[in-house]
Homo-oligomer: A and B are copies of this chain.
Amino acid sequence: MSDNDNWKAGYDLMVRMMGPEFAKTMEASVNSGRFAADVGRMAVEHAFGAVWARPGLELKQRSVVVISTLIALRQSDELRNHLRFGINNGLSAEEIQEIIIQTVPYVGFPAVSSALAVAVEVLRERGMDGGVKTASERGLL
């Protein structure tokens, strides 16, 4: 695949996962000639085009992978973006809750606490913060 193909695959994926506005802004930034704009180009071609657009795992599952990775890396800013993309890829509030809770035994409470703060913010932004009941409310605990 040429980098042109990677760019096209990455651009199409950005339109689908993040919306056309995001993709256009990214393109403008990549072509801006600004400091390190090539990092943006590499992200489109090498992350979105050559990795995210691969067959073999659906986008929603790829979001689960990336969100889990970013919780473990304690990268709150990138996590915020990828929670938004994950919702666009079909993740529900309950699934996001369970992903975060599933990381507790592996990354510890402090990393989870940072992740929760970001998740609540994104869910409110999307009007999705009312749709989740805790396990105790469902009579499970």
Binding site for B on A (CB under 8 A): 1-6, 30-39, 41-43, 46-47, 50-52, 54-57, 61-62, 64-66, 68-75, 77-78, 93-95, 97-114, 116, 119-120, 123, 129, 132-138, 140-141
* Closest Cβ neighbor of A32 among chain B residues: B134
Alpha-carbon separation in the docked complex, A137 to B37 (Å): 10
Q: Tell me whether A123 and B35 are in contact (CB under 8 A).
A: yes
Known A-B contacts A6-B3, A61-B64, A140-B55; A36 and B101 likewise in contact (beta carbons under 8 Å)? yes
Alpha-carbon separation in the docked complex, A71 to B39 (Å): 15
Q: How far is the CB of A76 from chain B (nearest CB, A)?
A: 10
Residues of B within 8 A of A33 (CB): 133-134, 136-137
